[in-house]
Amino acid sequence: MAETEAAKVTFKDLGLSDRVLRALEDMGFEEPSPIQARAIPLLLAGHDVIGQAQTGTGKTAAFGVPIVERLDPKVRGVQALVLTPTRELAIQVAEEIGRIGKYSRIRVVPIYGGQNIERQIRLLRMGTEVVVGTPGRIMDHIRRGTLKLDKVRMLVLDEADEMLDMGFIDDIEWIIQNLPTERQTALFSATMPDEIKGLATRYMRSPQHVAVNPAQLTVPQIEQYFYEVRPTLKVEALCRILDTENVERGIIFCRTKKGVDELAEALQRRGYLAEGIHGDMNQAQRNRVMARFKEGQIELLVATDVAARGLDIEGVTHVINFDIPQDAESYVHRIGRTGRAGRSGTALTLITSREFPQLRLIERTIRQRIQRRPLPSLADVAERQREVLKERLLRVLSRGKLGFYQDLARELLDSEDFAAEELLAAALKLAMGEAEPVPEVPTRFGETGAEPGFVRFFLNIGRAQGVQPADIVRSIATQAGVPGSIVGKIDIYDRFTFVEVPEDVAAQVLTAMQESTIKGRTVNIEPARKR
């Protein structure tokens, strides 16, 4: 792409100071992104700017660079104010401006709800040139008189559409009315709803529009797929996807905070490195989760839209919409967490049959088809497990340094008590640790005498062992990780029980229930034979 464009602008061409050029070089920015190339010169020239570009296109530096360049070292007090929709974004933007201003001796203070206000007051009292904050807490400080904005010469509204969605529009207007009218205003947004245009007309002076790809909302490097799943089996479907996809670092979106908690817990129970993040957690907790995710101690971050808004985390390979987003804008924001800074990524969306219209609406808005993918089967999961095991083995092999084990291997092989194949198989099983491989299970059960759509199982325990229907349901739900509500007819006899489960989970139930115990008895389970 870059090669075909005749003369690529450089940061130097934009007329930046050596201090900022050096900082950008330290940050690894080689050339300005399109929105930066167009917005930075306008802002440096003192224009008001409305910038519209998809997520991950570098809007932060598009206003961060001009902020740093236009600060007046002779002026004491806050000269630039940036409003962001969330605390995470406030911190992130403040950090990025700090990095851009590394050699320019500027101070940046993030101001957000949830953090101790006294601490913020102390920081503000020490003096700062740039404040980045969420509207609510900024208003708090203005009212208390702890944030003086009479020296502000530049106002930036970052992710304006998000702030609008979160109901901050009145707060923003209130804050603007507390700012000097002699100032520069920049507004950045991925989309331009009417309310944002209205805000621009009321509070900006002949703003220059800079739009990058307004028609195509999505980031093209992202592969997008959807899976159709039954509402009650979403967790199971997600696990199969996670077990077959090569997810190094993934963000999983849920609609509600409760959904986040439940899913994070369900995933943890199944041994995934997952943690949830949402607005009910305090800031310290959220920071801790984010740090663990960035460091790779967590592989899966389960989040609400609000908590993940604007997050910029390196190397997110997958965005998974566990719940389909409410609208196309939200979809674009979510999937924009991957494929950032030109890297590739995968976006997967789980939908139930009733959600097809919503999916179509998203497709129409982003003008792109989202491909359907069949849900991985248990056989796919097993296949993937084999691959992973093989890869791990070959990796160990290529690293060498097998001395100690090699001696032992020779000894075992020389003893001639076992075949080489058996020995290797045992070693592989050992390497799998606690995790039992997915065994090959029949997916067709033939006639078991169940209701249509169900499979009937025989269990070798019954009334004599004090078994109640609830014991059966609980055991199936916890062992197989399916909702108890899907369990069908249960017939308990003296020494055995019949239970019916839907066909599409039958194999899974059969596998999971092997060697499980009910009422202290090891259960034998097998498909019933039609009488």
Q: What is the DSSP letter of 110?
A: E
503-513 helix and 378-399 helix, angle to the nearest 10 degrees: 50
Counting Cβ atoms within 10 Å, is residue 360 exposed (0-12), middle (13-18) or buried (19+)?
Answer: exposed
Of 84-123, binders to ligand ADP (CB under 6 A) are none
156 versus 438: smaller Cβ distance to Mg ion:
156
The yes or no reply on residue 219 touching ligand ADP (CB under 6 A) is: no
Residue 59 CB, shortest distance to ligand ADP, in Å, is 3
CA-nearest of 496, 491, 504 to 455 is 504
- Of residues 27 through 66, those in contact with Mg ion by CB under 5 A are 59
- State phi, psi for 130 to the nearest 5 degrees: -125, 135
Least gap, CB of 70 to ligand ADP (angstroms): 18
What is the spatial distance between Cα 104 and Cα 106, in angstroms, rounded to a whole number? 6
**Residue number with CB closer to ligand ADP (341 or 435):** 341
Q: 476 with 513: CB under 8 angstroms?
A: yes
Q: How far is the CB of 29 from Mg ion (least distance, A)?
A: 15
Which CB sits closer to ligand ADP, 271 or 342?
342
Q: Which is closer to Mg ion, CB of 59 or CB of 153?
A: 59
For Mg ion, the closer CB: 304 or 479? 304
Q: Does 38 bind ligand ADP (CB under 6 A)?
A: no
Distance of closest approach, residue 125 Cβ to ligand ADP, in angstroms: 30
Give the residue among 60, 69, 58 at the shortest CA–CA distance from 31.
58
Which does residue 340 touch among Mg ion, ligand ADP, none (CB within 5 to 8 A, set by kind)? ligand ADP
3-state secondary structure 74-99: CCCCCCEEEECCCHHHHHHHHHHHHH
Backbone angles phi, psi at 495, to 5 degrees: -115, 0
The residue among 11 and 445 lying less far from ligand ADP, judged by its C-beta, is 11
Note whether 32 binds ligand ADP by CB under 6 A. Answer: yes
Residue 86 near residue 111, CB atoms below 8 Å: no
57, interface contact from ligand ADP, Mg ion, none, CB < 5-8 Å by kind: ligand ADP
Helix (H) or strand (E) run with residue 50 in it: strand 49-52
Residue nearest to Mg ion (CB): 59
| Cβ proximity to ligand ADP, 30 vs 391, nearer residue | 30
Taking the least distance from each CB to ligand ADP, the nearer of 61 and 149 is 61
Cα 205 to Cα 192: distance, rounded to the nearest angstrom: 18
End-to-end CA distance of the chain: 68
Q: Closest approach of Cβ 19 to ligand ADP, in Å? A: 17
What residues numbered 297-336 form the site for ligand ADP, per CB under 6 A?
A: 312
For residues 107-166, which are near Mg ion according to CB under 5 A? none
Q: Kindly tell me which of 59 and 141 has the beta carbon lying closer to Mg ion.
A: 59
Say if CB 81 and CB 155 are below 8 A apart.
yes
Nearest to residue 339, comparing CAs of 218, 162, 160? 218
Residue 382 CB, nearest distance to ligand ADP (Å)? 38
Window 332 to 361, contacts with ligand ADP (CB under 6 A): 340-341
Q: Per-residue x/- marks for ligand ADP, 50-89, CB under 6 A?
A: ---x-xxxxxxx----------------------------
Nearest residue to the partner ligand ADP, using Cβ? 58
Cβ 33 to ligand ADP shortest distance, Å: 5
CB of 61 to ligand ADP, least distance (A): 5
Q: What is the rounded CA–CA span in Å between residue 288 and residue 312?
A: 16
Quickly count: other Cβ atoms within 10 Å of residue 261's Cβ. 16
User: Smallest distance from the beta carbon of 45 to Mg ion, in angstroms?
Assistant: 22
Give yes or no for residue 191 binding ligand ADP (CB under 6 A). Answer: no
148: Cβ–Cβ under 8 A, 6 or more apart, which residues? 77, 78
Residue 250 CB, nearest distance to ligand ADP (Å)? 18
User: Total binding residues for Mg ion by CB under 5 A?
Assistant: 1
d(CA 104, CA 491): 77
> DSSP letter string over 272-301?
--EEEE-TTS-HHHHHHHHHHHHTTS-SEE
Query: Is there binding between residue 29 and ligand ADP (CB under 6 A)?
Result: yes
What secondary structure does DSSP assign to 330-376, as a single string? HHHHHHTTSSGGG--EEEEEEE-GGGHHHHHHHHHHHT-PPEE-PPP
Residue closer to Mg ion by CB (options 59, 183) is 59
Name the residues that contact Mg ion, by CB under 5 A.
59
Name the residues that contact ligand ADP, by CB under 6 A.
29, 32-33, 36, 53, 55-61, 312, 340-341
